[in-house]
Amino acid sequence: MAGHYFRLLDDIHIPGRWELNDPVDQEGHKPGTWLFRQGKPIEIEGRLRIPIYVPGNALDFSMLAGASIPVVHARVAAVFARLAPGDVQLIPVEVEGQTDSYFLLNITRVVKCIDDEASDEVRYWKPEHGQPENVGEYRSVIGLRIDPAKVGDAQLFLTWGWIAIVVSEVIKKALEEMGATGPKFQEVTGPSTISPEERARDRKSRELFEIADTTRETAWRTLGTLDKDVFMPIAMSSSWPGQRQLWRVIRREAGRTLLVTHGLSDPFADLLEPSVGFGLELTLEVDATVKDISKGWPLMLLDRVADEVAEHEHVRESVKAGLFSMEVSGKGMPKSLVTGEGRVAVLLGVESRSLPGHFSTPYGEVKLVTVKALLPSELAYLLEHGAEGQAELARRFVENGEEHLSRLGRKPVA
């Protein structure tokens, strides 16, 4: 008789917990995290070391920051080795500051068992999504359910087509009985947990958001090469229209990197009606190839500006009307941008010859608003000259050919 199975998750809500960074080898190189998504043994030369990303209390089970790769204490590793010896490869690692033994958990079995009908909703890649190599495969699975009859004797496995880590009830109980800290379990067998009415509402919501996503992605691809990754914080902001706070990254000519908000023009989540939300998206471009967007100052600055736009209606209306300047916290920002008061100023709405001012969606027009980081002396000029100063700065930026570009080390225009 088929048993119960559970998705194995990292409990991110544990107070004071640590966060682990990507592993590095003895030369400081990072092995590709994609290797751990293949469902087969891998070869690692030498011993790996895991730096601490956010200091805190050590856990028996946790995932690497930004990647669903488990790191487990030796006593948890022993449970997997005993109960799922044919499903796992245990790779020894040294965790910064720890004398106990830890292991990377490489899951070596993949099972094709997702139950499309029992899951709340599954979505597939379509030609209009712009990734032809993925057409016909799962794009997302909401409310995952599996068919236990297809699992066989697997105790620990990855689901085929859309990766989730699943464990048997036997492993779940063993980890709970030993008091392992860090794991969280979500049942993936049995009937759906939502009612038909909730399912219909969720489906309508996802359809609205998918149209908005696809339309924006089409617009982003006209500006350069769109990264596949979508950046999002752990805690979503309720002030954004769709209550999801997203960013996309576009690679441009001459090694430039363009960041865009990806959600300020979402339909409003509480209305479930077609709309363009706030009717705008923000964009910030730098003259460098930013590899780790999540840790760079450009995303930090765009995030802070977006928060101000999302939370204050008078700011949104001013931004839509034309040029608008504001100051945000300079904490963690490059020193050349930070004023004596610890703030960073930006000018929004500088027109660009290489970026459109609007783009069209089935729900209406969306304004694309540029965000340009100002130097402290340029802020002083604005404070002295007001609206006329904004217009004059914008004119000088266009005149020197930099327009909306945010660049460190440049000479001030005022």
- Inter-residue contact 225 to 253 (CB < 8 Å): no
Which amino acid is located at 280 in the chain? L
Query: What ranges do the domains of the chain cover?
Result: 5-115+146-187, 212-399
Cβ-Cβ contacts under 8 Å for 326 (sequence gap 6 or more): 305, 308, 315, 345, 346, 348
CA dihedral defined by 166, 169, 171, 173, rounded to 10 degrees? Answer: 130
pLDDT < 70 regions, the chain: 1-2, 65-66, 233-237
Predicted local confidence at residue 133, as pLDDT: 84
Cβ-Cβ contacts under 8 Å for 317 (sequence gap 6 or more): none
Which amino acid is located at 166 in the chain? V
Which two structure tokens, joined as six digits, stand for 371? 């965000």
Pairs from 209-215 (Cβ < 8 Å, separation ≥ 24): 209/242, 209/244, 209/266, 209/267, 210/123, 211/274, 211/361, 211/362, 211/363, 212/242, 212/265, 212/266, 212/267, 212/361, 212/363, 213/262, 214/128, 214/129, 215/359, 215/360, 215/361, 215/362
Bridge partner list, 104? 71, 91
Length of the chain: 414
Helices (H) and strands (E) in the chain, counts: 6, 22
Q: Measuring CA to CA, which residue among 148, 145, 167 is closest to residue 156?
A: 167
Predicted local confidence at residue 1, as pLDDT: 44
Predicted local confidence at residue 2, as pLDDT: 63
Residue 26: DSSP 8-state: T
CB-based burial of residue 26 (10 Å sphere; 0-12 exposed, 13-18 middle, 19+ buried)? exposed
